Structure 1
Amino acid sequence: MTTETTTPVRRRGGPTKGDQREAQILEATRALLAERSAADLTVDAIAKAAGVTRTAFYFYFPTKHAVVAALLAELWDDFGASHAWFASEGPDRAGLREQHRIVAEVWRRHREILVCARGSVDYEPVLEWAARLRDRFEAGLGAKVERDRAAGLAPDGIAAASLAAMVWDVRDARFRAMSDLAPDDLDRALDELTEVVLRMLYGTAPAA
């Protein structure tokens, strides 16, 4: 006779107290960065805004910059959502503009955090996140340029990797500048950026 035993399924409940405290620290830091630079941010200020003790803060994060790194990590997939254009063939103006719109929206909602990844925070995980973000973009764009060139859809010229790096530099500077534009101005800026990138990649700005 065989007796079957079953292991009870453990049901995950709602957020734990620890999860809630960590979330409070993240949100408090996000709010404080909207008012001051990362250099002016302190652990005491974060702890006070989050409603936790300084000791409790250090239970979850080793430094204030570790909180910034965690906030940036939350944006990784948001930027990845803009990469659909890399799978397209040829210029695909509409797809490129949509890519730019998505990135501009991420910048608009999280400017105070993203600024930290542009050299204002000298913390290895933050620097690594920024480098990986750039590398992922350049790899995706470089691969697209090579495919389009092989298919006769883009002109030969500068090495694809170098061209992708130049496009990143142009976009990165423009997105920060665009992050506080009014809607009409933002639409115009997105159109302009799209045309500039198309000219860089394809030599002209195709209508489609």
Structure 2
Amino acid sequence: MVNAIVDAARGLLATKSVDELTVDAIAKAAGVSRTAFYFYFPTKQAVVAALLDELWDQFGGTYGWLDTTGVDRAALLEHHRLVAGVWRGHLSVLACTTGPSLDYPPLIEWADRARGRFVDGLAAKILRDRADGVAPEGVDARALAQMVFDLRDARMRVLATVGEAEIEQGLADLTEGVLRLLYGAVG
């Protein structure tokens, strides 16, 4: 039953935003009563939280760049391509992790964990690269990593809605911007 409800929500989110999604619509699509829905999930946001949990490993699989040292443009561009793929495939679910829809504690917790995982990894990379003399000193590594996260995810939300040609240029621009933030002028 849980899988049917989660699958129904996933299917509905292919054409609706989280704000347009209703418990009644999910229950109907899952072939269950509203009462049965509430037996398994307290809210529609709880179903969305279950969908987000499914994406956790997909995002983790995009973070290979964080383990590199130095300016690795190709690895960063690949990271951005992989993250864009997750965003493009799951925009309606991921959109609820930002903005006014982010009002349900499990969604807030997921968004905080996702942000923390990336920020921790990038801050460690920045510190390694500074110790190696590759990245300049300056802004606190964690604060800089948080800025990169915010920039990246804001761009991913936009790039998830554009055509293929625009995506490639957008990913190249994002990669260049992040490299400049982290390393200054990069050749």
TM-score, normalised by the number of residues in structure 1: 0.86
Q: Is the partner of 1:189 in helix, strand or coil?
A: helix
**Structure with bigger gyration radius:** 1
> Paired residue for 1:192?
173
Q: Is the partner of 2:90 in helix, strand or coil?
A: helix
Tell me how far apart the structure 1 counterparts of residues 10 and 142 of structure 2 sit (CA, whole Å).
34
> Paired residue for 2:105?
124
How many residue pairs get matched? 186
User: Which of the numbers 150, 159, 167 marks the counterpart of 1:178?
Assistant: 159
> Paired residue for 1:161?
142
Structure 1 unmatched runs, 5+: 1-20
Mean Cα deviation higher: 189-198 or 116-125 = 116-125
> Paired residue for 1:134?
115
Give every structure 1 segment of 4 or more consecutive aligned residues whose post-TM-superposition deviation is greater than 4 Å: none
Q: CA deviation at 1:189?
A: 0.8
% identity of equivalent residues: 56
> Paired residue for 1:86?
66
Structure 2 unmatched runs, 5+: none
> Paired residue for 1:151?
132
User: Which of the numbers 15, 28, 36 marks the counterpart of 1:35?
Assistant: 15
Q: Is the partner of 1:39 in helix, strand or coil?
A: coil
Tell me how far apart the structure 1 counterparts of residues 23 and 50 of structure 2 sit (CA, whole Å).
15
Tell me how far apart the structure 1 counterparts of residues 78 and 90 of structure 2 sit (CA, whole Å).
18
- Work out whether 1:48 is the aligned partner of 2:22: no
Tell me how far apart the structure 2 counterparts of residues 39 and 188 of structure 1 sit (CA, whole Å).
31
- Aligned-residue CA RMSD (Å): 1.2
Tell me how far apart the structure 2 counterparts of residues 43 and 121 of structure 1 sit (CA, whole Å).
17
Tell me how far apart the structure 1 counterparts of residues 18 and 75 of structure 2 sit (CA, whole Å).
35
Query: What letter corresponds to residue 111 of structure 1 in structure 2?
Result: L
Tell me how far apart the structure 1 counterparts of residues 102 and 130 of structure 2 sit (CA, whole Å).
39
Query: What letter corresponds to residue 129 of structure 1 in structure 2?
Result: W
Query: What letter corresponds to residue 87 of structure 1 in structure 2?
Result: D
Tell me how far apart the structure 1 counterparts of residues 19 and 59 of structure 2 sit (CA, whole Å).
25
Q: CA deviation at 1:39?
A: 2.8
Q: Is the partner of 1:37 in helix, strand or coil?
A: coil
TM-score, normalised by the number of residues in structure 2: 0.95
Q: CA deviation at 1:186?
A: 0.8
Tell me how far apart the structure 2 counterparts of residues 107 and 39 of structure 1 sit (CA, whole Å).
18
Contact conserved, 1:65 with 1:121, CA < 8 A, in 2?
A: no
Deviations 1:71-125 (A, max 9, x none): 0111011111111111111010000001000100000000000011113141100
Query: What letter corresponds to residue 126 of structure 1 in structure 2?
Result: L
